[in-house]
Structure 1
Amino acid sequence: MNPEKLAQLQAAARTGGKGTPRRKIVKKPTSTAADDHKLVGVVQKHKVQTIPHVVEANLFRDDQHVVHFKAPKVQLSVKDHVVMLQGRSATKQITECFPEILPQLGPENMDVIRQIAAMYQRQMGAAAGDAKPQAAAPREEGIPELVGDFENVPDVE
């Protein structure tokens, strides 16, 4: 067949014309019911127990980040070695939440602790170099002066 004639036929072929309704795309809402159903099945399979009153949970990643859960729902199965955390999470740098997570860091994170300590020392040294030296530190007004000798106190019976 002639390619020119074929192109004319293709241009003339129309699936709709004036007055034909346009097709509307109907988006079906995605339901998380199927995911919830699967989750319930896994929970029942492993017989997890809920651990109450968990204030926070931190997951330490290898790239110096912490996944922080505030007030998560924690479920645990000791037999199957399964821990489930449910709740909103936030990924933070380990330096952002360092003082709060210091007791949670173990010996495997000792090099991270040293790096953070060195960084804080550099920052404090830079801040001390920028600050103007003062002649004497001002005394806080809320603390009274010590009066008397407290070493030679008579025994009271």
Structure 2
Amino acid sequence: MPIDQEKLAKLQKLSANNKVGGTRRKLNKKAGSSAGANKDDTKLQSQLAKLHAVTIDNVAEANFFKDDGKVMHFNKVGVQVAAQHNTSVFYGLPQEKNLQDLFPGIISQLGPEAIQALSQLAAQMEKHEAKAPADAEKKDEAIPELVEGQTFDADVE
């Protein structure tokens, strides 16, 4: 079937004036909010309510002793406990600290495993103190003794 070139040109001219579709601008989508964290917290609270968890007030701090000798220290901690289900929840921002950073207030909380770590720490401190005087003597050897009566003022002028 032959195509009439005049009609085709006329249709192309008309279609150029009438655009199909709109401008290509992006749709404004709502930015995602932090509802995910709130959802998790809400779900956790609902599960704790099912377990009949009780909030314990006036807990100043909580410490969790790790196997590597470090301590997870919670300051200003919130605690909920469901004793019948053997469940405890601690809220707060933990800080990982060394055992010696929390002395002497942490001694009453130490168990048998932590006492072993404490004895290892004491042994390390003794070794460090034994090395310190030897290092000080080496440093003293490098410094020359001052001679009485010798001044450096004359050399400066």
- Shorter-chain TM-score category? 0.5 to 0.7
- 3-state DSSP class of the match of 1:90? strand
CA distance in 2, matches of 1:119, 1:77: 41
Among 83, 91, 94, the residue aligned to 2:88 = 83
* 1:68 shift after superposition: 0.4
Among 52, 70, 90, the residue aligned to 1:65 = 70
- 1:46-84, Cα deviation, whole Å (9 max, x unpaired): 111122211110011112211101121111121111111
CA distance in 1, matches of 2:97, 2:109: 15
The one-letter amino acid paired with 1:65 is K
* 1:24 shift after superposition: 6.0
CA distance in 1, matches of 2:134, 2:47: 58
CA distance in 2, matches of 1:128, 1:74: 48
The one-letter amino acid paired with 1:67 is M
- 3-state DSSP class of the match of 2:84? coil
Aligned to 2:16: none
CA distance in 2, matches of 1:95, 1:24: 54
CA distance in 2, matches of 1:78, 1:40: 16
- 1:111-155, Cα deviation, whole Å (9 max, x unpaired): 2111111112223334455669xxxxxxxxxxxxxxxxxxxxxxx
Calculate the aligned-residue CA RMSD, in Å. Answer: 2.3
Structure 1 or 2: more helix by fraction: 2
* 1:45 shift after superposition: 1.3
Cα contact 2:79–2:88 (8 A) shared by 1: yes
Aligned to 1:110: 115
Aligned to 2:126: 121
Aligned to 2:149: none
The one-letter amino acid paired with 2:33 is P
Residues 22 and 44 (structure 1), Cα distance of their counterparts in 2 relative to 1, 3 Å cut:
closer
> How many corresponding residue pairs?
114
Aligned to 2:39: 34
Q: What is the TM-score with the length of structure 1 in the denominator?
A: 0.61
5+ unaligned residues in a row in structure 1: which ranges? 1-18, 133-157
Residues 25 and 104 (structure 1), Cα distance of their counterparts in 2 relative to 1, 3 Å cut:
same
* 1:28 shift after superposition: 1.3
Which range moves more in the overlay, 91-100 or 76-85? 91-100
CA distance in 2, matches of 1:102, 1:125: 25
Residues 128 and 104 (structure 1), Cα distance of their counterparts in 2 relative to 1, 3 Å cut:
farther
Cα contact 2:54–2:81 (8 A) shared by 1: yes
